Structure 1
Amino acid sequence: MALHSRALLGGIYRSVKNLQTPLGGLLPGKLNRRDLSTSNGLGKLYELRIYQIWPKEMKPFIELSKEWIHLRTAHSPLIGYWVSEIGGINDVVHIWEYDDLNQRANVRQALAGDSHWISSYFSKILPMMSRQENMLLHTVGDSNLVQPDLRGVYELDAINQGAGQKFSTDKGDAKLLGTFQSVMGPTNTGYQLWFHNSAQQAVENQINGQKEADQGSGGHRRLLVPTPWSPLQ
């Protein structure tokens, strides 16, 4: 059984290295290092990740993540990790901060070589996900992404700027934490992360607040509930 397990994990690791899996697509060995430009004063980069979890696997996914996510957060800052309550079913949404793509590549290389990460967590959650997407963002204007005292729910707005939508500047007593522009992923798309004291307040703020972001079409809005390990609570 032990030999079978080692062979299985070895196969998973080889798949990670060779296929377009979450760890395999941009491993440093597959990149020309000269193609990895740093931010060079342009500010931090943020990776927005959205995983769709098979319904029956949501509880095991959350339990495994709560136990093992520290192996991932040891490598780069986690901004927030949420479950989508409205605007996506069985989705988890998370945002990671990097100095530049060199740092991101180094993180992924370290994780690919971490047998503990692969055997305890990654190999177990991979079949739990039915879909994954990610996008690279940078901030626009001021951001307030470190908020250890917040307790409530969050809203992530995707803003289709190509359709004439604009960034909101006010939503009642909601708190704007960050405004982002896509660098890689959906084009002509901005994102805004808001904090609300409650889900009902989020609805009231949206209905009663200013509607600059609604001057267009094709946007998307998610109501997010933080996971126990999310820095933003």
Structure 2
Amino acid sequence: MKKLLLLLIPILFLCACGTNKTITESTDKVPVKEEPVKETLPVEEVVNLAQFFLPDQSTAQFKGEGNEYASYSLKTQYINDNYVATYEDNGGTIVQRIYKISEDNISLLAENGEAYEAEIPSIEELESMPVIDIYLATPLEVGTKFNGWEITSTSDTLQTDLQTFENVIVIEKAEEQGNVTRKYFAKDFGEIKREFIMNANEEELIVSSTIEKLL
């Protein structure tokens, strides 16, 4: 009996070793599952719309054509980082406009004529004012529409008496009667030209105002 046990123990030991080796080899050959590569979407560039106004307390002169009141001076006043007031003096009247700058648009809150001694509303009053128009909106790319306006170009070149502007943004609004209004914007200057094109008796009448100099 002892001899039989002595013979069986080495055999069982060899079997156990062989089985363990097979399991180890099988485990080593299992392929590692690779995680799929995640695609990252491009981050949309954040546009600082405040750059579409002249600097605080600056005044620009605009040369007019087609109408005696098309020439005017424009003074810009920053109320704070989010609100801007402009004063347009065409020799006949002064118009005060107040704008709100947000992340995706510039909205018009007030437009006051005969603003010879116009006051600035308090921040509480400004925050409660309703929007009466959208002055400019993002994304700043061709085809963007807002409140009847449409961006028709972002790469215009405009020659003025002040300088030649590149990458000018053009927005356009067309009326049912066929009249067209266009505005031209440049970074660090804001609106540098506006024109009104009216079709009357099969003739085209153009009234334009173009930045001429900084005062």
Say yes or no: TM over 0.5: no
Higher strand share: 2
TM score, norm. by length of structure 1 = 0.24
Higher relative contact order (CA 8 A, sep 6+): 1
TM score, norm. by length of structure 2 = 0.26
Higher helix share: 1
Q: Who wins on radius of gyration, i.e. which is larger?
A: 2
